[in-house]
Chains A and B, each alone.
Chain A
Amino acid sequence: MSDPVYCYPPDHTVLKNKLGLRDVIELERAERRLVTQRISEIVPSGDFDLKHLQKFTTIFFKIFIPGPVKSAPSKSRKAHHSSSFADILKLVWRTCISVLSSKILYRGLTWTLSRRRLGRSWVMLILSTVSEPAIPFGHHLHEIRKTVEITTLVFF
């Protein structure tokens, strides 16, 4: 992966992150450790279906999100408005569903299997977004969109 906006120069292969890590191995180590730690703190048991995802997303709201977050500057008129984290999550979920639907048709996968896989990726996506210190992105709307794009490219 190479992205001039979301990755560090000069080769643009390591995602920008709040820890300032420029080495992909170090970033991956920090990410898996912090995400594992966060899961061991708060994620309730379940089967990664929608009900389960809603349950722990609610927990995340209570723990991590003190109030509405402001979207990042963008040329889009809509993006200039402040968005609640709930709105952003809905956007992320809709995007994932949309991409997943097309991939299901393309690959001939069953909905049950794909939904389970999507659920797991959804867990990782949300944890990566809200985990302290928020690896690799902050709470900006267009950055989360980018995260979704990357996630779907990698996993679907």
Chain B
Amino acid sequence: MSIKEILTDKLLSSARERRLTAMHLQKIEDNPLDAEDISMFEMFEREGWSHERRRAYIIACAKGETIDESVSYVAE
């Protein structure tokens, strides 16, 4: 899947379920997601970002790099 591709509703739904499981695990591991993290993942799901783009975005944020938001990846 290319970084510009979007996820279908079915894939998004299953990914969201797994994300909720992941949040539970992170809480157990004493590193829970904060409001900003949750908001970010909800934005990914709302706009149907591909997993590749999500990872690239998270890594760019962590490195403090400039994030190009000029290209729309949202389903028409």
Contacts and interface: CB of A to CB of B under 8 A. Distances in A.
Contacts of A49: none
Interface residues of A, number: 26
Contacts of B32: 32
Nearest to B12: A40
| A-side interface mostly | helix
Contact of B59 (A40, A41, A133): A133
A133 B25 CA distance: 20
Contacts of B28: 120
Contacts of B41: 36-37, 40
A35 B23 CA distance: 10
Interface residues of B, number: 26
A36 B22 contact: yes
Contacts of B61: 30, 33
Contact of A120 (B29, B54, B59, B62): B29
A39 B25 contact: yes
B22 A120 contact: no
Contacts of B26: 32, 35-36
A120 B24 CA distance: 10
Interface string A83-116: 0000000000000000000000000000000000
B14 to A, nearest CB: 9
Interface string B29-64: 101110001001100000000010011001101110
Contacts of A32: 26, 31-33, 37
A28 interface: yes
Interface string A1-35: 00000000000000000011100001011111111
Given A33-B40, A35-B22, A36-B37, A21 B62 contact: yes
30 contacts: A19-B62, A26-B62, A28-B31, A29-B37, A30-B62, A31-B31, A32-B31, A33-B40, A33-B61, A33-B62, A34-B55, A34-B59, A36-B19, A36-B22, A36-B33, A37-B51, A39-B19, A40-B15, A40-B16, A40-B18, A40-B19, A40-B51, A41-B15, A43-B18, A43-B22, A45-B17, A120-B29, A121-B29, A124-B25, A133-B59
